[in-house]
Structures are given as structure tokens and as C-alpha cells.
């Protein structure tokens, strides 16, 4: 599996923003989250 990195284009799969796309602004590996 490939890692998500800053600058990657992603699509939100769950939550209130499901279906929206954007660019990763930051990644927090310890919390297992990414800010899009």
C-alpha cells in the first residue's frame, strides 16, 4: 500500500465531506489523519 503524502490529490470516502476531493495539506501519522 502506498503512503499518503503532502500534495497528493485525494477523495474523501467517509464523513460529512464524503465524495469531495482536494489536495493533502498536512499529514499526522501518529493520529493517523490527514488535513485536506
String of DSSP letters for 1-36: -PPP-TT-EEE--SSTTTT-EEE--EEETTTTEEE-
The rounded distance, in Å, linking the Cα atoms of 27 and 15 is 18
User: What pLDDT is recorded for position 12?
Assistant: 93
The model's pLDDT over 2-34, given as tens digits with 9 standing for 90+, comes to 789 999 999 999 999 999 999 999 999 899 899
User: What pLDDT is recorded for position 2?
Assistant: 77
Which of 34, 35, 32, 19 lies closest to 11 in space, CA to CA? Answer: 19
The rounded distance, in Å, linking the Cα atoms of 31 and 28 is 6
Is the whole-model pTM more than 0.85? Answer: no
User: What pLDDT is recorded for position 31?
Assistant: 92
User: What pLDDT is recorded for position 1?
Assistant: 56
Amino acid at each position: 500500500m502506498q503512503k499518503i503524502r503532502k500534495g497528493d490529490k485525494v477523495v474523501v470516502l467517509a464523513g460529512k465531506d464524503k465524495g469531495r476531493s482536494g489536495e493533502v495539506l498536512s499529514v499526522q501519522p501518529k493520529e493517523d489523519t490527514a488535513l485536506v
